[in-house]
Amino acid sequence: MFSKVLIANRGEIAVRVIRACEELGVASVAVYSELDRDAIHVKRADEAYLIGPGPAAESYLVIEKIIDVAKRSGAEAIHPGYGFLAENAAFAKACETAGIVFIGPPASAIEAMGSKTAARELMQKAGVPIVPGTTEPVADVRAARKVIADSIGYPVAVKAAGGGGGKGFRVALTDDELEAAFEGASREGEKFFSDPTVYLERYLPDPRHVEVQVLADRHGNVIHLGERDCSVQRRHQKLIEESPAPAVDEALRAHIGRVATDAAAAVDYVGAGTIEGLLQDGEYFFLEMNTRVQVEHCVTEMTTGIDIVKEGMRAAAGEPLSISQDDVVLRGHAIECRINAEDASKNFAPAPGRIGAYVEPSGPGVRVDSGVGPGGEVSPMYDPMVAKLIVWDSDREAATRRMLRALDEYEITELKTLIPFHKALLATRQWGNAETCRDLVEDKRWLRALAFEPTVPSDGDEDGEKVEQTYTVEVSGRRFDVRVIGAPFAGAVTLNGSAPAAAPRKPRERKKGGSAVGGDTLPSPLQGNMWRVKVRQGDAVEEGQLLCIIEAMKMENEITAHKAGVVAELPIAEGAPIAAGDPIATITSTVSE
């Protein structure tokens, strides 16, 4: 084993790796940005080095600075955690060149899985089932039409070749939607991965996101630790994960486990990795491989009793895994809720800030992996995750009740988090029945939990300030237009703090005299930056026509006209920041009253 390891990360995952180091008797070296001077990972490590100002591009993402600290501190290996440099093949190579061990797979495996088209081709050759579609980039919309007509058919998923995790992912249900989907996916691919190439997959209408944890060493051992279900997502951000997956039995587990170890073996994998896939009607399809430890690895640790981070470090040090496939026994059920500093009632807008009081839940079967504590700061510069709350119990129902108990025990003041959202979601019948979330969108309680319900009772609307707004919600990978008739967005409900979702809520008080936002004015449903304005003042627009694209949380959000008319005002310029509720367009009716 190594004697000293550098952790090239921050927050809860840095703390998680430091804990593994402590248990293995390995000294830990933290790196931190100016914003993270007082962070827990800095205090917790044996040594800590400042590597630059707040922006990750000037600190956590600078390969030379991190390698330099490793050399200066005498660390023999670097653990990248997740995010930042974790899936950067150039970083893995730079470590190798500097004579430092990268705790993860060889650069060649990162590269092979990094290109989604190359990975699909490779997996197909290795006998791993992939979602039907192309294994090569599709040049343009015309070429896409031909492949769709010849083999895939509609609906079709258009995905960026450099993508992953849902970035550069668009759906075309019919030919009418193909051009926009193709261009959207390509544009996002160019923007985030400097690669505009896209490929096509058959769009599966109602799958479950099921992923398999694998571990591999340099001695030819490749094992799997069962699966996780991560179907509760919003805009491709996972919110709740569980293990085992409700839709997977012994036989299916053996099958998808074999698929996953075959996939890992095909790229000579080393360390901890995850095969992500889609499960529909008992059929499993490879989507992509994450060549790193994942946020949700903890649920697997709870059901298997295996320390995934320590096994990954053993593998990197050239030791054999401490367990064989036969040693892996799944017991009970684990659930993880991501406690993000986000406001579910404002379209999950990030809600960074300083924490006031902070008390973590505890007791039997409860684990909290956190990166901040009392008085800690959640910076707008980084991921807004405060902690992961993980529980274990004998079965899914008991684990759900334990999670609700732990969420109730969690005390965080002065910071909005997803705790009320999780309480609401876990109380739904759909969660109880382990149904896919597609159905949840039809459920009033779910809509209310997501704050798409009007807040003001429909009777006696004193000042007549009632607008109709259309929002696009995405559940289980499907986009739904939800029309909300009632108070303007600024008056949206704040989730009831502690009661289950069905509890009655007080209508929010509204300011007298009206706000800047009226029936003609479209308020922004989210916080972000204006990316593109697609219409001009004076343009006549149809209801549903694309007005502008707002970038929020690294995703492009297409904003469409809430009514037909003439564009009277477009107050926000491209590149400008937008707060949720800000007016983004005023559309006046063509026929004057």
Q: In the window 265-284, what residues touch ligand MV4 (CB under 6 A)?
A: 278
Among candidates 67, 554, 82, 18, which has minimal Cα distance to 291? 82
How far is Cα 520 from Cα 592, in angstroms, rounded to an integer? 13
Main-chain dihedrals φ then ψ at residue 428, nearest 5 degrees:
-75, 150
CB of 290 to ligand MV4, least distance (A): 11
Q: In the window 395-424, what residues touch ligand MV4 (CB under 6 A)?
A: none
CB of 377 to ligand MV4, least distance (A): 29
Task: Examine residue 119 and tell whether it contacts ligand MV4 (CB under 6 A).
Answer: no
CB of 280 to ligand MV4, least distance (A): 8
Task: Examine residue 201 and tell whether it contacts ligand MV4 (CB under 6 A).
Answer: yes
Tell me how crowded residue 185 is: count the other CB atoms within 10 A of its CB: 27
Q: Which stretch binds ligand MV4 (CB under 6 A): 14-22, 197-205, 253-261, 441-449?
A: 197-205
Q: Which stretch binds ligand MV4 (CB under 6 A): 60-68, 92-100, 203-211, 542-550?
A: 203-211
Whether the ω angle into residue 364 lies within 30 degrees of 0, i.e. cis, is no
CB of 455 to ligand MV4, least distance (A): 27
Looking from the CA of 449 toward its CB, the CA atoms found within 13 Å total 24
Strand ranges (DSSP E) for 265-329?
Answer: 271-280, 283-290
The residues facing 242 across adjacent strands are: 229, 335
Q: List the structure tokens of 298.
A: 């903890």
Task: Examine residue 207 and tell whether it contacts ligand MV4 (CB under 6 A).
Answer: yes
CB of 165 to ligand MV4, least distance (A): 6
Binding mask 47-66 for ligand MV4 (x = CB under 6 A): --------------------
Among candidates 150, 169, 265, which has minimal Cα distance to 218? 265
Q: In the window 474-503, what residues touch ligand MV4 (CB under 6 A)?
A: 476-477
Q: Which is nearer to ligand MV4, 273 or 583 (CB)?
A: 273
Q: Which is nearer to ligand MV4, 210 or 372 (CB)?
A: 210
Per CB under 6 A, the list member of 209, 292, 346, 388 interacting with ligand MV4 is 209
Per CB under 6 A, the list member of 20, 100, 103, 204 interacting with ligand MV4 is 204
CB of 156 to ligand MV4, least distance (A): 8
Per CB under 6 A, the list member of 203, 348, 358, 471 interacting with ligand MV4 is 203
Tell me how crowded residue 332 is: count the other CB atoms within 10 A of its CB: 16
DSSP 167: E
Among candidates 266, 246, 184, which has minimal Cα distance to 546? 184
How far is Cα 78 from Cα 29, in angstroms, rounded to an integer? 9
CB of 273 to ligand MV4, least distance (A): 17
Among candidates 73, 71, 79, which has minimal Cα distance to 97? 71
Element (DSSP H or E) covering residue 565: strand 565-569
CB of 247 to ligand MV4, least distance (A): 11
CB of 522 to ligand MV4, least distance (A): 26
Q: Which is nearer to ligand MV4, 230 or 570 (CB)?
A: 230
The residues facing 548 across adjacent strands are: 533, 559
CB of 283 to ligand MV4, least distance (A): 12
How far is Cα 388 from Cα 385, in angstroms, rounded to an integer? 8
CB of 383 to ligand MV4, least distance (A): 16
Q: Which is nearer to ligand MV4, 123 or 204 (CB)?
A: 204
Q: Which is nearer to ligand MV4, 117 or 231 (CB)?
A: 231
**390 CB-near residues (< 8 Å, 6+ apart):** 298, 299, 302, 334, 335, 336, 366, 367, 368, 369
Residue pair 212/288 in contact (Cβ under 8 Å)? The answer is: no
Binding mask 439-478 for ligand MV4 (x = CB under 6 A): -------------------------------------xx-
How far is Cα 529 from Cα 515, in angstroms, rounded to an integer? 22
Residue pair 191/263 in contact (Cβ under 8 Å)? The answer is: no
Q: Which is nearer to ligand MV4, 135 or 325 (CB)?
A: 135
Per CB under 6 A, the list member of 2, 49, 169, 446 interacting with ligand MV4 is 169
DSSP 539: -
The residues facing 52 across adjacent strands are: 33
Among candidates 313, 318, 308, which has minimal Cα distance to 274? 308
Task: Please list the alpha-helical segments (H only) found in 100-216.
Answer: 107-114, 116-125, 141-147, 178-193
Task: Examine residue 208 and tell whether it contacts ligand MV4 (CB under 6 A).
Answer: yes
Q: In the window 213-252, what residues touch ligand MV4 (CB under 6 A)?
A: 231, 233, 236
Q: Which is nearer to ligand MV4, 166 or 376 (CB)?
A: 166
How far is Cα 35 from Cα 80, in angstroms, rounded to an integer? 19
Alpha-carbon distances, residue 431 vs 32, 383, 436, 489 (angstroms): 39, 26, 8, 27
Task: Examine residue 348 and tell whether it contacts ligand MV4 (CB under 6 A).
Answer: no
Q: Which is nearer to ligand MV4, 201 or 227 (CB)?
A: 201
Per CB under 6 A, the list member of 17, 42, 123, 131 interacting with ligand MV4 is 131
Residues that bind ligand MV4 (CB under 6 A): 131, 157, 165-166, 169, 201-204, 207-209, 231, 233, 236, 278, 476-477
